[in-house]
């Protein structure tokens, strides 16, 4: 029944055909179970999803073709299987990581079950019984009371106490509990907060007792709709993932073109006798084309990206930002909007008393004193300050503060306790009542000079309610008048040393109107309440509630006749006013500076909350985040106001919005989608179950460490310290990681261009194969991978948080940079081929062939030569070429310490990890050259000193070339050149419109 909130009690009961005094019959239960029902992705799909990537598919095809060619050529043993096996092992490792990540993400849905009640008190067949909550059906009559978790969505039908209050913060984000009633709701487009007669599944009763009829179970509940929303949410690809996918598409086209070109260029050589026929010749050059594909694909790129992001997560963990999804590290770098939940994120989600107002004296006219209270959590830690800001050493020595502490402790039905497992103080009951208990602890006890230090010596468990227990032992509770909506107050009768005292608390307008006397704070005297005093107190109350938007309670007492054992409503008159307390869900102290830092970095903050507009605007003023706004017109909207705006006005509103109030889960998700449609990169913070769908939908979901398990599981990152300021540090780290990621991607691209040039030039010149596929694989995985990973340790720029967020459409390699790396790649390839040719023509240990003989190597068996044809199978030339390729790439790695700065400014030792990786890479390469089993496996041999000298001569110029290119980059000519080349992006852009 979707509109139960708008129907009367009798209409709802008639709809389900249930008698409120008897409940459903067994027949009706089975009938309703059939009619309404009762209260993850297959594993194989997850595995196959990891291989749905173009580069991965090309690699699989290359591995299969390589294996088939080896079989066709009659190769057996380790050599035939080495290359395809290595490729498939890499892909399997990547897939395993992906499956684990996706499986963890599905836990969010499972953890939603923790918010479902286990049992329910149900009326069936005229009798109450306790049943598993899963057996509830629509139409069941359920009784709920303090501490109960609501087992299903239910419509209130009968109030069994003066009031019923429910904490529904996990669903709506409201900072205080909500009073429920029986009246139907007339609001149009009612949101959860408007449905005051509905009890929502998973929320908790904090005061009162009532009966309700079940109107929704399972997926048809508010909590069920959150689960459905999360199931419908597809994970968005991160900006870097999109760029790498685009690069893969671009690379695939280039690879396909070059492979076909190489094959076509060599059609005339298919019939060469060396190949043994047309078909074998075609297969031989097809194998060269496959080698070219292997050279062009950066096999190590996924592993290096993952490693670099993992290193970033370690650094971020030290900043209390725990990353659950590796790609989200990079996403932080281009975040443009943070949609921040207010309750529990910008605020502590712990009601606390911040202001106290008492009457000091009336000697020279009414003199009212105000006190400030520090401490913003449920921890009994904080101090009382007078209106000049001076801390009171012994607050309990002041009569009004002493009696406020008494009343707060006694006229109270909540509990405050310390949870050693979580290391924090927790409430049971109404948050406003717990705030009063904490206030009583801060005031302390009278008559003990050592009181403050004595309290600090207690264990945290004893300290939680030490002063409250003291007052409860001093005063014995005799009778209680519960809070009711018409009186708006609560009273308790206590006995203390043969004296009966009634303490009352409630809405200021109710308490003050019943007061005839006032307690003075200067001497403890009681004086009559007059119109002037009443007007002054009303003025202070309006100031607290209006300008400061504090939630106010007034406290009073009354001396009762000796021996009185019960209370009636008639007793609640002729009270003595003690004081007025103002409380709020306080903003976190560090939030202001954090939000200012976000704005400096070009990141917009939108506060999103379930609270009402005025309360939220007041909190935002206290945070100081929106001091730049003259007023909130055009910047602050309720969800209903925003939805009613026409399309064009909504677009404008999104660009100016700073605050969105009265939201429910679907609104948060809607806001994220709307911002993403404007090409914004959105981070959403939150801690409640209600935040989970939006956290999952956002580009990066940020959960609070103290938040619900559902929110954490749906998020990409968790703030361990609940500190909004940690986001700023995480964004800075994310930007630095992206810059380093960009550097090693460029390094790998230029290296792979070199390998492609090497094979292509060799094929065009018609000389023997320069490098074997297995040698290319070794270079790509080991000698490329280690330095590329070490580049991830480059130090971040000092002004990383002063730049605006980069555009999502920004190419990783584009324009002038692509030209630079094309030049570098061309030199790498030509130097490798030069090393190969040098051995045949100039080396002292080589055959010193004329160049024409080298170009006609394939006809050697059919003609007479002065040299044996076996020299073309010598391993020296390919070893020299492979070593040139390795050494030139080591020098090229040094070029990537900075995009534009010279090695004279940023020397190699600025990144010792890179120096170490270069040394390790060279040691590994020397190992395969001089260790017989490995040299056989990679078809290489040992080199002489003379050969090493030539390798260094050929390799070192890559540094000189890049230094010249960097010089052009740093001056105006380079910039103009950059502009000229901008259209030729290495990574084609999907987004045509920049933000």
Just list the catalytic residues: 341
Q: Which residues contact 298 (CB under 8 A, 6 or more apart)?
A: 748, 749, 751, 752, 780, 784
- The answer to whether 323 and 317 are in contact (CB under 8 A) is yes
Burial class (CB within 10 angstroms; exposed 0-12, middle 13-18, buried 19+) of 427: buried
Question: Which residues make beta-bridge pairs with 120?
Answer: 131
Question: d(Cα 507, Cα 515) in Å, to the nearest integer?
Answer: 13
Dihedral sign (CA 323, 326, 332, 335): negative
Evaluated on CA atoms 879, 881, 883, 885, the torsion sign reads: negative
Q: What is the DSSP letter of 149?
A: B
Q: What is the CA radius of gyration of the chain?
A: 38
Q: Residue 208 and residue 159: Cα distance in Å, rounded?
A: 8
As a whole number of angstroms, the distance between CA 378 and CA 761 comes to: 73
To 10 degrees, the CA torsion angle through 94, 95, 97, 101?
140
Q: Is residue 368 within 8 Å of 357, Cβ to Cβ?
A: yes
Q: Residue 23: phi, psi to the nearest 5?
A: 80, -175
Q: Confirm if 153 and 199 have CB atoms less than 8 A apart.
A: yes
Structural contact between residues 815 and 978, judged by C-beta atoms closer than 8 angstroms: yes
Token representation of residue 499: 């004296």
Helix (H) or strand (E) holding 748: helix 725-765
User: Nearest 5 degrees, angle CA 353-CA 358-CA 362?
Assistant: 170
Longest CA–CA separation in the chain, Å: 133
Q: How far apart are CA 685 and CA 328, in angstroms?
A: 14
Q: Which residues contact 208 (CB under 8 A, 6 or more apart)?
A: 145, 146, 159, 160, 161, 162, 163, 164, 165, 482
Place of tokens 């849905």: 109
Helix axes 815-841, 945-955, angle to 10 degrees: 150
Q: What is the DSSP letter of 363?
A: B
Instruction: Quote the Cα angle for 903-905-908, to 5°.
Output: 45
CA distance 136 to 33: 8
| Other Cβ atoms within 10 Å of 866 Cβ, number | 7
d(CA 295, CA 850) in angstroms, rounded, equals: 29
β-strand 127-132 against 476-481: which pairing, if any?
unpaired
Distance CA 921, CA 948 (A): 16
CB atoms within 10 A of CB 184: 18
- Three-state SS for 785-842 is HHHHHHHCCCCCCCCCCCCCCCCCCCCCCCHHHHHHHHHHHHHHHHHHHHHHHHHHHC
Sign for the CA dihedral angle at 982, 987, 990, 991 comes to negative
**CA-closest candidate to residue 184, choices 368, 388, 13, 390:** 13
3-state helix, strand, coil in the chain (%, to 5): 50, 15, 30
CB 830 within 8 A of CB 839: no
Q: What φ, ψ does residue 363 adopt, rounded to 5°?
A: -60, -50
């Amino acid at each position: 029944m979707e509109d139960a909130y708008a129907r009367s009690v009798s209409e709802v009961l008639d709809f389900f055909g249930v008698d409120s005094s008897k409940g459903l019959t067994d027949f009706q239960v089975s009938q309703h179970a059939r009619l309404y029902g009762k209260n993850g992705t297959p594993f194989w799909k997850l595995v196959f999803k990891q291989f749905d990537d173009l580069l991965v598919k090309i690699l699989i095809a290359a591995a299969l073709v390589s294996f088939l060619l080896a079989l066709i050529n009659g190769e057996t043993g380790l050599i035939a299987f080495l290359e395809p096996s290595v490729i498939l092992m890499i892909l399997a490792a990547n897939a395993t990581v992906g499956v684990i990540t996706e499986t963890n993400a599905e836990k969010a849905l499972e953890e939603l079950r923790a918010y479902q009640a286990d049992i329910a008190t149900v009326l069936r067949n005229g009798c109450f019984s306790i049943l598993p909550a899963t057996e509830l059906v629509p139409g069941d009559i359920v009784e709920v009371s303090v501490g109960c978790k609501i087992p299903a969505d239910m419509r209130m039908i009968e109030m069994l106490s003066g009031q019923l209050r429910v904490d529904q913060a996990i669903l709506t984000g409201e900072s205080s509990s909500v009073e429920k009633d029986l009246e139907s709701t007339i609001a149009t487009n009612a949101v959860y907060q408007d449905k005051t007669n509905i009890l929502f599944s998973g929320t908790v009763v904090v005061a009162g007792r009532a009966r309700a009829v079940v109107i929704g179970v399972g997926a048809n509940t508010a909590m069920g709709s959150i689960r459905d929303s999360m199931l419908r949410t597809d994970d968005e690809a991160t900006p870097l993932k999109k760029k790498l996918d685009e690069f893969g598409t671009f690379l695939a086209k280039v690879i396909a073109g070059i492979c076909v070109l190489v094959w076509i260029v060599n059609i005339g050589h298919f019939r060469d006798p060396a190949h043994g026929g047309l078909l074998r010749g075609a297969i031989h050059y097809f194998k060269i084309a496959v080698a070219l594909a292997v050279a062009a694909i950066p096999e190590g790129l996924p592993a290096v990206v993952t490693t670099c992001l993992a290193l970033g997560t370690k650094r971020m963990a030290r900043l209390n930002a725990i990353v659950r999804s590796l790609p989200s590290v990079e996403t932080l770098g281009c975040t443009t909007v943070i949609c921040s939940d207010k309750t529990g994120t910008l605020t502590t989600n712990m009601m606390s008393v911040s202001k106290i107002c008492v009457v000091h004296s009336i000697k020279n006219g009414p003199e009212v004193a105000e006190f400030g209270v520090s401490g913003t959590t449920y921890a009994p830690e904080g101090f009382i300050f007078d209106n000049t800001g001076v801390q009171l050493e012994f607050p309990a020595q002041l009569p009004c503060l002493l009696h406020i502490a008494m009343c707060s402790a006694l006229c109270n039905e909540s509990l405050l306790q310390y949870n050693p497992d979580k290391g924090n103080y927790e409430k049971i009951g109404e948050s406003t009542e717990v705030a009063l208990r904490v206030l009583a602890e801060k005031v302390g006890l009278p008559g003990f000079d050592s009181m403050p230090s004595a309290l600090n010596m207690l264990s945290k468990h004893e300290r939680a309610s030490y002063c409250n227990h003291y007052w409860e032992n001093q005063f014995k509770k005799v009778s209680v008048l519960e809070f009711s909506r018409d009186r708006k107050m609560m009273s308790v009768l206590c006995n203390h040393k043969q004296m009966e005292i009634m303490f009352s608390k409630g809405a200021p307008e109710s308490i003050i109107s019943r007061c005839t006397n006032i307690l003075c704070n200067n001497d403890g005297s009681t004086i009559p309440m007059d119109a002037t005093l009443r007007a002054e107190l009303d003025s202070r109350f309006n100031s607290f509630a209006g300008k400061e938007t504090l939630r106010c309670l007034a406290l009073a007492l009354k001396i009762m006749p000796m021996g009185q054992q019960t209370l009636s409503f008639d007793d609640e008159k002729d009270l003595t006013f003690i004081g007025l307390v103002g409380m709020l869900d306080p903003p976190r102290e560090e939030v202001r500076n954090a939000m200012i830092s976000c704005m400096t970095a070009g990141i917009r903050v939108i506060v999103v909350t379930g609270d009402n507009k005025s309360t939220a605007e007041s909190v935002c003023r206290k945070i100081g985040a929106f001091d730049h706004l003259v007023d909130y017109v055009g910047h602050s909207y309720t969800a209903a106001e925003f939805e009613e705006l026409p399309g064009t006005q909504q677009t404008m509103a999104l660009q100016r919005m700073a605050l969105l109030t009265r939201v429910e889960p679907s609104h948060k998700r809607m806001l994220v989608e709307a911002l993403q449609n404007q090409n914004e990169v959105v981070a959403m913070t939150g801690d409640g179950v209600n935040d989970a769908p939006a956290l999952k939908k956002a580009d990066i979901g940020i959960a609070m460490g103290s938040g619900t398990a559902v929110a954490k599981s749906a998020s990409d990152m968790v703030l361990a310290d609940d500190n909004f300021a940690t986001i700023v540090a995480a964004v800075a780290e994310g930007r630095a990681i992206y810059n380093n990621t960009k550097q090693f991607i460029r390094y790998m691209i230029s290296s792979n261009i070199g390998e492609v040039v090497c094979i292509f030039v060799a094929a065009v010149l018609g000389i023997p194969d320069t490098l074997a596929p297995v040698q290319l694989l070794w270079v790509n995985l080991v000698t490329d991978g280690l330095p590329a990973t070490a580049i991830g340790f480059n130090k971040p720029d000092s002004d990383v948080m002063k730049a605006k967020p980069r555009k999502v459409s920004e190419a990783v390699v584009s324009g002038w940079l692509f030209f630079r790396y094309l030049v570098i790649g061309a030199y790498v390839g030509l130097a490798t081929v030069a090393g190969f040719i040098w051995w045949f023509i100039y080396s002292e240990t080589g055959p010193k062939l004329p160049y024409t003989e080298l170009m006609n190597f394939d006809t050697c068996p059919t003609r007479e030569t002065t040299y044996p044809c076996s020299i073309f199978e010598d391993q020296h030339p390919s070893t020299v070429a492979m070593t040139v390729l390795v050494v030139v790439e080591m020098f090229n790695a040094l070029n990537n310490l900075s995009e534009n700065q010279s090695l004279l400014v940023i020397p190699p030792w600025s990144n010792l990890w890179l120096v170490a990786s270069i040394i390790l890479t060279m040691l590994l390469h020397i190992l395969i050259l001089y260790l017989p089993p490995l040299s056989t496996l990679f078809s290489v041999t040992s080199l002489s000193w003379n050969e090493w000298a030539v390798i260094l001569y050929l390799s070192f110029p890559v540094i000189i070339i890049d230094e010249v290119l960097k010089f052009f980059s740093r001056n105006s000519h380079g910039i103009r050149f950059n502009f000229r080349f901008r259209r030729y992006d290495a990574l084609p852009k999907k987004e045509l419109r920049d933000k």
